[in-house]
Amino acid sequence: MSAPDSAAALAADAPWPELDRRFLQMDGRSAPPPFPLDVLPEPWRPWVEGHAQGSTCVDYVAQGLLAAVSAVCGSRIVVEVTPHWREPLVLWQALIGAPSTGKTPALAAARRLLGSLTAPADPLEGREQVPRGKLVLSSWQLDRGISCWHDEDGWLRELAREGRVRTFTIAGWSGASLHEEDIIDIGYGGMRWAESIFGTLPANRLAETLSAIDDALLSRFLYCWPVPRLEARLERLFDGERTRRLVQRLVDLPGTIREPFALGPGDAARERLEDLLPRLRVFMRDADGVQAAWIGKAAGNIVRLAGLLSLMDWATVDGEAPCRTVEEHHLERAHALWTDYYWPHAQAVFGEAPLTLAERRVRRVGQWLRRMRPETVSREEVRREALSQAVDADAAESVIERLEQQGVLRMLEPQRVGSRGPVRRRWAVNPQLWAKLRC
């Protein structure tokens, strides 16, 4: 037995150290707040509650509803804060979660809602799919609403690739006009491009995905990473036709991508925004990295959310002339939604970004230990089962060393097979792990 092995064996009966706190939480993160349903106008809420049954949750469905509203309004309606500051009602949203936590059903419900709508004749009829490299732009109707919906792996990395796809993507968030050399033949050149994005990301590959994406893209998304729901309510009914009529009212508003319809902040909303902007800038100054970049997009996203909420309010009142104003209470609700909901969810997401490859492997083994609850493990079990044979023996040894340092594993006395056989090593798993899980 080597000296290090002997020392480890002698320490095997010693009291366990306090377990690293990251292993006391099932998902390694604190629970972000649930979606505040009361931020939505009351007539819209039953659609969200009605779809949030069984396999999905209010958070995902609420994001789907906002995505549907943004899909029909974002490209052709803007909030004109000043003559030089115009925000399209475009949202980029990313739903994050483990498999089978309800991301896809929420996306599908929102797409069905869009599929039930009718719109005026599209001057670009017959050109509803625009190829962009390996991506296909899924437009609801190209001249009246452009949105990309992604429920497959790798879409965010594809958007981040340098070239035409990235040019379209960045221009789409700001509603900018594209240069002639960037235009794909879709009917007219020099067009204004405003595009909403709604996509899902698997939580188990989140750190790997984030490490491959630059801050310019990550900072533009509104993130949703809720705690998976445990309860199921199957008896609730809702009037889907009522919600369809509400969205149809938004479809019937004037405005196209070429000639957008403009909303303007009321006097009280403008004063509130003037008060809010310096505080957001201080908030950004005190952050760094991708979090600072994300906060830097706060003002634009708050204005966009306020514009969408004002239109959703307007749609609930029959006979009203087209909405023209974003009021102070719309801005307040949007600010509260950004501060109290989206910001904590973004923090949960960005907490994954700094993880190194070694840290991700340690976390993966920790998750496997929580799931399988073995009393002891070997290096080969860690390599083959916990890490799916994705590493060699040396890398598995390195992961075990880190887990020993964090108080999760401790080497048992090595056992030799026969008089001349190999020495077999196993590690005990800290029993605090199971005790904490039973609480």
Residue 45 has pLDDT above 90, yes or no: yes
What percent of the chain is predicted at pLDDT more than 70?
A: 78
Supply the pLDDT for residue 127: 42
| pLDDT of 145 strictly over 80 | no
Buried b (16+ CB within 10 A) or exposed e, 132-170: beebebbbbbbbbbbbbbbeeeebbebbbeeebbbbbbe
Asked if the model's pLDDT at residue 141 lies above 70, the reply is no
Vertex 148 angle, CA 317 and 172, to 5°: 85
Instruction: Tell me the range of 184-188, 326-330, 402-406 where mean pLDDT is highest.
Output: 326-330
Which structural domains are found in the chain, ordered by start? 3-24+357-438 (1.10.10.10), 37-350 (3.40.50)
Q: Evaluate if residue 144 carries a pLDDT over 90.
A: no
Residue 309, pLDDT above cutoff 90: yes
Question: Using 50, 70 and 90 to split pLDDT, how confident is the model at 142?
Answer: very low
Q: What is the dihedral of CA 133, 139, 144, 146, to 10 degrees?
A: -60
pLDDT tens across 287-307, in order? Answer: 888 889 999 999 999 999 999
Given this model, what pLDDT does residue 26 score? Answer: 43
Question: What proportion of the chain, given as a percentage, has pLDDT over 90?
Answer: 43
Distance of CA 431 to the CA centre of its chain: 34
Mean pLDDT (the chain, rounded): 82
> Is the predicted pLDDT of residue 332 greater than 80, yes or no?
yes
How does residue 147 score in pLDDT terms, banded at 50, 70 and 90?
confident
pLDDT tops 60 at residue 188: no
In sign, the C-alpha dihedral spanning 397, 400, 405, 410 is: negative
If residue 222 lies in a helix (H) or strand (E), which one and from where to where?
strand 222-224
Prediction pTM value: 0.74
Name the band, by pLDDT with cuts 50, 70 and 90, for residue 122.
low
**Residue 279 in this model has a pLDDT that exceeds 50:** yes
* 119 contacts 144 by C-beta, under 8 angstroms: yes
Give the model confidence (pLDDT) of 62-90 as tens digits: 999 999 999 989 888 999 999 999 999 99
